[in-house]
Amino acid sequence: MDESVPPGIDPTKAHPSRRYNYWLGGKDNFAVDRASAEVVASAFPTVYLAARENRAFLKRAVSHLAGEVGIRQFLDIGTGLPSAGNVHEVAQAVDPASRIVYVDNDPVVLVHARALLTSEPEGRTAYIEADLRDPDKILAHPDLARTLDLTRPVALMLVATMHFIGDDDDPYGIVSRLLSALPSGSHLVMTHATGDYLTPEQYAESVEANKRSGVPFRLRTREEFARFFDGLEVLPPGMTSVVEWRPEVPPEERPPVEDVSMNCAVARVP
């Protein structure tokens, strides 16, 4: 595998986007990312399944918002490396004029995004290199203003990102700040890892493994997750496992929620 390192990359430090890429079976990751991913998997072996189910939820959520709700603008923060079924591909399959802004803080993602995240001619995509911990930088970026009209509804996508934001970084304040810039009719889409489905022993093992992995990670309870949606109108079926959100397969074909351990919700800004 090519381990050449682009400028701006620290090859000694694992990054969430590249680790996620590894769990999804991708090849755009470094040895440090694979080692970190395996540490997490040692305590939570079904993390590979969780990554796939999380990605499947993203596709269903975008399809619903673009199809039934009529959303034509998406702000995807913590987008990760391009994979099958990116937000713009799903949304533009419904309406080619859909517009999408991708945000990530990994320079490797930037390289791939510029090459692969190409819009239909009628629509537009843009990529911003920025950190979720600095929402004002994201909102003030000229490429966001050139791509999205913030007087019209936007779907804010925070899929498998907020569990990397520790309590010291004011996660609820970050989400509130981003939503404050969006008009009525916008939507928040979020998934978040949880320990709610784990036994106390599994929870302790998972927390310890995440510490050893070198990537800050915060499991949150359903109650803690619900706080992100204060004041919003949560769409049916409410806050649930990603496995159970508008599933497209019968119950007997779905994986156990315990093996995924990921909560989700989609909510409207009133």
Q: CA-to-CA distance for 267 and 149, rounded, in angstroms?
A: 20
For residue 184, what are its two tokens? Answer: 């009525």
pTM equals: 0.91
Closest CA to 126 of 108, 107, 146, 140: 146
Q: CA-to-CA distance for 37 and 214, rounded, in angstroms?
A: 10
- CA–centroid distance for 3 within its chain: 26
pLDDT attached to residue 3: 55
Q: CA-to-CA distance for 236 and 138, rounded, in angstroms?
A: 30
- Domains in the chain: ranges and CATH: 16-268 (3.40.50.150)
**Nearest 10 degrees: Cα torsion 149, 237, 172, 36:** -100
pLDDT attached to residue 43: 85
CA Rg value for the chain: 18
Residue 166 scores a pLDDT above 60: yes
Reported as a single tens digit per residue, the pLDDT across 55-77 is: 999 999 999 999 999 999 999 99
Which residues of 10-159 form beta strands (DSSP E)?
A: 73-77, 99-104, 124-129, 155-159
Reported as a single tens digit per residue, the pLDDT across 90-103 is: 999 999 999 999 99
Q: Report whether the peptide linkage leading into residue 237 is cis, meaning its omega lies within 30 degrees of zero.
A: yes
Question: Among 1-5, 122-126, 196-200, 230-234, where is mean pLDDT lowest?
Answer: 1-5
To which residue do tokens 């074909």 refer? 253
pLDDT attached to residue 2: 47
Q: CA-to-CA distance for 100 and 102, rounded, in angstroms?
A: 6
Ramachandran angles phi, psi of 76, nearest 5°:
-105, 105
Reported as a single tens digit per residue, the pLDDT across 201-250 is: 999 999 998 888 888 899 999 999 999 999 999 999 999 999 999 999 99
Q: How confident is the model at residue 4 (pLDDT cuts 50, 70, 90)?
A: low
pLDDT attached to residue 108: 80
Q: CA-to-CA distance for 241 and 256, rounded, in angstroms?
A: 10
For residue 87, what are its two tokens? Answer: 């937000």
pLDDT attached to residue 138: 98
Residue 81 scores a pLDDT above 80: no
Q: CA-to-CA distance for 196 and 242, rounded, in angstroms?
A: 13
Task: Provide the mean pLDDT of the chain.
Answer: 91
pLDDT attached to residue 196: 95
